[in-house]
Structure 1
Amino acid sequence: MNLEIKNIEPKAIWSHFADLNAVPRPSKKEERVIQFMVDFGNKLRLETFVDKVGNVIIRKPATIGMENRKTVVLQGHLDMVHQKNSDTNFNFDTEGIKMIIDGDWVKADGTTLGADNGLGVAAIMGILASTDIMHPAIEALFTIDEETGMTGAMGLEGNILKGDILLNLDTEEDDEIGMGCAGGVDITATRKYKEDEVGTESISYEIAVTGLNGGHSGMDINKGLGNANKIMNRLLFDGFTNFGLRISEINGGSLRNAIPRESFANIVIDKASKEPFLFELNDLINSIQLEYKSIEPNLLITLKEIPLPKKIMDLGVQEELIKAIYSALNGVYRMSPDIEGLVETSNNIARVIVKDGNIMIGSLTRSSSETNKWDLANSLRSSFELAGFNVEFSGSYPGWLPNINSEILNTVTKLYEELYKEKPNVAACHAGLECGILGQNYPNMDMVSFGPNIRGAHSPDEKAQISSTKKFWNFLIEILKNTPSKN
């Protein structure tokens, strides 16, 4: 099927995307895709090198007649989010993505597609390989580890790039021109606990929350989607409060930048409480599914009896854990007072692990306001520290402040109106783009962001629109032909 992908128009993008998706490229394990890009640049006989943190830079001279235009940095990230359905047998470390054409969309077989940001990378490859596209001098910047820390952008030194303009190709709406984005910080709460013996007059169940949409923890955080960790905690709270439920293990969520789709918990109750526990829990399950029926129609909450575990959580720590997760904010904290419809500050309770005497709760807080980012982060810290957890902040990165006087923003906006006879949506987004970080070491670089329509990023439902990708490609070509002249 991947051979069919190569023949989709424009082949200049889809053929490179298919080649890229054949290379495993998990965050923090980008060695193979780095070498892939180096080989690509060297094969084209273009100046190609890797910086000290692993970013790949490829330079291509201006085409004839374009030498007086400002140098353009085309930027995308090499890594991709790895999510798969629980019934999909797939190894992201060793296998290439298996792609499917579904009408006007390309998707993957039970996994994330990697269109975020593979289509942006493929478009840059198409420009670098082209022989008939007019463009100014190009610096292609392929960053690493965007999805789990943005360490590539953070590690890029300020003397490497010579460009005046940066085109970030990492947005997911083809009528949108990005002029700003949110920053973020990872919040990790940890605690140890003692384990108790399981009583002989006990019965054990696995509770499974599955079938949620998941999605991007920035772009989709305002949609009211279900968070598997919060739903699971609601079930555990009810069972603990009314029937003395005890927790053996919890494994919920996965990556910090993905809204959790699944959570699994092994629990123990007294045999004497079995019937009323099952009755009330099923009643609660029906209520939750009713609450989410319009937005999470595939939500499934199941119980199955399992062998008794050897150990359960200490009772006091268990109570503090459940109440801490209940009190910790998940979702939108504040909407922007300046940009209508824009989420300013939010949090995603992304990961909950309870096992073998250790608890780990991982969250990602985002905000376009640095002060409100830390306000929410400190609110979450307070919730967890009051429950006896140790809390660490890490991976903090700044937002990208909008510049309404941007020359390239003005150029790109006018060009869009001329091409498509309508105004684009010029906006900041709640995702974490690398522009804010890159702007720290390159404060004079003029930046915008755009891309094709991508739906369900960071989830196995991710798909990219074929017609929109063609529009994106044509728009990119026109921008390069119309970049401003040097002063």
Structure 2
Amino acid sequence: MSEAIRNLEPKVVWNHFADLNAVPRPSKKEERVIQFMVDFGKNLNLKTIVDKVGNVIITKPATKGLEDRQTVVLQSHLDMVHQKNSDTIFDFDKEGIKMLIDEDWVTADGTTLGADNGLGVAAIMAILSSSNLKHPNIEALFTIDEETGMTGAMGLEGGILKGDILLNLDTEEDDEIGMGCAGGIDITAVRTYSEEEIPKNSTAYSITVKGLNGGHSGMDIIKGLGNANKIMNRLLFDGFTNFGLRISEINGGSLRNAIPRESFALIIVDTISKEAFLLETKLLINNIKDEFLTLEPNLVVEITETNNPKSIVELGVQEGFLKSMYAAHNGVYRMSPDITDLVETSNNIARVIVKDGKIKIGCLTRSSSESNKLDLASSLKSAFELSGFDVTLSGEYPGWQPNVNSAILKVVSNLYENLHGDKAHVAACHAGLECGILGQNYPEMDMVSFGPTIKGAHSPDERASISSTQKFWSFLVAILENIPKK
């Protein structure tokens, strides 16, 4: 199917995307894709450097007639979110993405596609490799580790870039021009527990929550989608309260920036109560399915009798854990009072692991308000600390404050309207873009963000629109031809 992808228009973009998707590029394991980009730049005889944290910077001189224009930084991130369906056999560390075409969409076979932000990378590669496109001086900035900490953007030192304008190619609606984004902070709660023996006359069950949409924990949080960790906790709390359910293991969610699609638990109940437990739990499952029927029609919850585990969680710790999980906020916390339909502050309870005497809960809190970001982080910290958890706050990064007087924003907005006859949707977003971080060391750089339409980012349902990619490419080319003079 890779050959069919390569024949899509614009071929130059899809061919570079296919080449990129053949290279494994998980966050924090970008060595291979860094070398790929270095080889790419050097093969074009363009100045190529790797900074101290691993960002790749490739520079290309202006084409004839555009030497007097402002220098443009084209920026995208190299890493991608690795998510797959539980029944998909795929090794992200060794295999290239298997792509498929479904009408106007390019998708992947049971995994994330990597269009976030691979299509941005591919478009920049197409600019760098072109021999006939008109453009000003270009600094191509390929950052690392955007998805799990933005450490590439954080580690980029001031003075390396000389550009006046930055075009971030990481927005996921082709009629949107980004002028601001949310900041974020990671909340991690951990504690240990004593492993207790299984009581006599116990029956064990495995509980599986699956079939949820998942998605981007920033852009999709407003949809009110199901969170597998919260649904699982609801089931376990009910079983504990009414039937003395005891937990052996939990494995829920995966990445901090992906809404959890699946959760798995191993539990026991007193054998004498198992029939009543199953009846009550199945009624609760039906209620949950009814609640999510419109948003999550494919939600599946399975309870299967299994062999008794070796141990269970200490009783007092289990009770505190379940109550903390219930108390911890998940989803939209506050809408923006200034921008219609924009989430200001949210939290994603992304990862829950209970196993071998240790509990670990991972959350990602986002906000365009620094004070509300810390307010929600403190609320979550308090909920977990009340149950004896040790809580750390880490990976904090700032938001990108909107600049309604941005010169490049006006140029890009006017150009979009001239090309398409309609005004673009100029807005801030609830995702974490690197512009806010980059702006700390480059405060004078004028920035906007745009990109092709991508749906289901951070989930195996990720797909990129073919027609939208054509639109995005034409828009990018036109913008480079119309960069203002110095």
TM-score bin, normalised by smaller chain: over 0.9
Alignment partners' CA distance in 2, 1:394 and 1:295? 32
Partner of 1:65: 65
Equivalences for residues 231-380 of structure 1 within 5 A: 231-380=231-380
Partner of 1:221: 221
2:454 maps to amino acid: I
Equivalences for residues 53-452 of structure 1 within 5 A: 53-452=53-452
Alignment partners' CA distance in 2, 1:137 and 1:305? 65
- Offset, 1:381: 0.4
Moved more, 305-314 or 69-78: 305-314
Alignment partners' CA distance in 2, 1:45 and 1:387? 59
1:190 maps to amino acid: V
Alignment partners' CA distance in 2, 1:64 and 1:307? 73
Superposition TM-score, scaled by structure 1 size? 1.00
- Offset, 1:7: 1.0
1:35 maps to amino acid: Q
CA deviations 1:421-469 (Å, max 9, x no partner) are 0010000000000000000000000000000000000000000000000
Q: Secondary structure at the match of 2:171?
A: coil
Alignment partners' CA distance in 2, 1:467 and 1:213? 24
State the identity %. Answer: 75
- Offset, 1:200: 2.2
Alignment partners' CA distance in 2, 1:379 and 1:418? 47
- Offset, 1:4: 1.1
Alignment partners' CA distance in 1, 2:417 and 2:51? 38
Alignment partners' CA distance in 2, 1:445 and 1:306? 60
Alignment partners' CA distance in 2, 1:306 and 1:233? 20
CA deviations 1:107-164 (Å, max 9, x no partner) are 0000000000000000000000001110000000000000000000000000100000
Which runs of no fewer than 5 residues in structure 2 stay unpaired? Answer: none
2:149 maps to amino acid: G
Q: Secondary structure at the match of 1:222?
A: helix
- Offset, 1:305: 1.1
CA deviations 1:4-52 (Å, max 9, x no partner) are 1111000111000000000000000000000000000001000001000
CA deviations 1:265-312 (Å, max 9, x no partner) are 000001000100000000001110111111100000001111101100
Alignment partners' CA distance in 1, 2:126 and 2:376? 42
CA deviations 1:337-374 (Å, max 9, x no partner) are 11111000000000000001100000000000111100
Alignment partners' CA distance in 2, 1:353 and 1:163? 44
Q: Secondary structure at the match of 2:417?
A: helix
2:414 maps to amino acid: K
1:351 maps to amino acid: R
Alignment partners' CA distance in 2, 1:417 and 1:118? 26
Superposition TM-score, scaled by structure 2 size? 1.00
**Aligned length in residues:** 486
CA deviations 1:401-426 (Å, max 9, x no partner) are 00011000000000001000001000
1:242 maps to amino acid: N
- Offset, 1:3: 1.5
Moved over 6 A (4+): none
2:357 maps to amino acid: G
Alignment partners' CA distance in 2, 1:310 and 1:107? 42
CA deviations 1:189-231 (Å, max 9, x no partner) are 0000111100120000000000000000000001010000000
1:372 maps to amino acid: N
1:380 maps to amino acid: L
Residue 36 (1) aligns with residue 36 (2)? yes
